[in-house]
Amino acid sequence: SQTIHQWPATLVQPVGSPLSLECTVEGTSNPNLYWYRQAAGRGLQLLFYSVGIGQISSEVPQNLSASRPQDRQFILSSKKLLLSDSGFYLCAWSRSGGYNEQFFGPGTRLTVL
C-alpha cells in the first residue's frame, strides 16, 4: 500500500529565516506530487505540482519554491519567510496522467513569528 510522509509536523520560524519542508511517498512510482497551503479558516490553495523529476509547475507567484530531486520526494523551500507564509502545508500524491484522486499527507503546521 502507498503511504505519504511529511516532516516536520510543526515548525516555528522567525521572519526572514529559510524554510525546507519535505514530503516523501512510498509504495508507488512516478506519482504526481502536490503542495497545498491552508491559511487559518481558509480553503486549500495549490502552490506547486510536479509530474516528474525536475518538473515543477507553479500555481501562485510568491517567495516559495519547490523541487523534486527524486521520483518520490518533493521539497518546499523559501529563502526568507514572511509572516504571511504561516499556515498548514499539505503534500499530496496521485497516479500520473489524467483525472485521478489525490491522497494527502498529515501536514506541517508552520508559524512565522
Partner 1 sequence: AQSVTQPDIHITVSEGASLELRCNYSYGATPYLFWYVQSPGQGLQLLLKYFSGDTLVQGIKGFEAEFKRSQSSFNLRKPSVHWSDAAEYFCASGGYNKLIFGAGTRLAVHP
Q: Are strands 64-70 and 108-112 parallel, antiparallel or unpaired?
A: unpaired
107 scored as a contact of partner 1 (CB under 8 A):
yes
Q: 14, 54, 69, 97: which one contacts partner 1 (CB under 8 A)? A: 97
Where in 30-89 is the site for partner 1 (CB under 8 A)? 32, 34, 42-44, 46, 49, 51, 88
Is 105 among the residues that bind partner 1 (CB under 8 A)?
A: yes
Q: How far is the CB of 85 from partner 1 (least distance, A)?
A: 18
**Residue 57 CB partners (closer than 8 Å, separation 6+):** 48, 49, 50, 51
User: In this chain, which of 40, 69, 83, 99 binds partner 1, going by CB under 8 A?
Assistant: 99
Which residues, other chains included, contact 25 with Cβ-Cβ below 8 Å and sequence gap of 6+?
2, 3, 4, 5, 31, 33, 72, 93
Phi, psi (degrees; rounded to nearest 5) at 49: -145, 160
Sites of contact with partner 1 (CB under 8 A): 32, 34, 42-44, 46, 49, 51, 88, 90, 92, 94, 96-107, 109
